Structure formats: structure tokens, C-alpha cells
Amino acid sequence: LKTVLGLVGAAVGTEAGREVLDSVRTAVRKEPSPSSPSAAEIEALISEHRDQVNSRLESVVHELAAQNQRLEEIVRRQRLWNILLAIGVVLAIVTAFLV
């Protein structure tokens, strides 16, 4: 028993021995389990998450509405251009037949 205690004491006296002893101590220690959040905390987190999602969804809807408005204006201009072009083609054909 004295020999074993002497060997352990000598091993602990070295750097490698201290590292092994420290790793054994930390492995044996139980870390306290994290406390689970209360129902009120969970509800608050869910509410905050919903608010963030709603805010982002509103901004997406706003951007889509603005994009639709721009596209409607482009379509109106395109229709006007098509009408003017058709009138020009008809005038060119009429002029070609009259000349």
C-alpha cells in the first residue's frame, strides 16, 4: 500500500500526472444541468418570434405591393407604346398605298 501511494504521489508530482488527475476530476464532476425555462419565458420567446416573423412578413408584403405597382406602370406604358406603334404602322401602310 505504501508503494502504491508512493507511485501515485510521484505520478501526481509530474506535469503529465497532474493533467491526468485533472481530467479524471473533471470527468467525475457532474455539471449542473441547465434549468429549463418556465412556461412564461417560453410564451414570451414565442411571442417575440411571432412579432419578428410578422414584421418581416409585412415588409415583404410591402415590397411586393410596390413591385406590383411598378410592373402595372410598365404594362401601361407598354400598351401605350404598342398602340402608338400600331397607329404608325397603319399610317405608313396608308401612306404607301396613297403615294
Tell me the per-residue pLDDT of 6-34, one tens digit each, with 9 for 90 and over: 777 776 677 777 777 677 777 666 555 66
Q: How many residues does the chain have?
A: 99
Give ∠ CA 47-50-54 in degrees, rounded to 5: 140
Separation between Cα atoms, residue 99 and residue 94, nearest integer Å: 9
3-state DSSP call for residue 14?
A: coil
The pTM score is 0.48
Rounded CA-CA distance 41/96 in Å is 82
Rounded-to-integer distance, Cα 17 and Cα 8, Å: 9
The pLDDT score that the predictor gives to residue 19 is: 76
pLDDT score at 35 = 76
For residues 60 and 66, what is the distance between their CA atoms, to the nearest angstrom?
10
Rounded to 5 degrees, φ, ψ at 10 are -70, -40
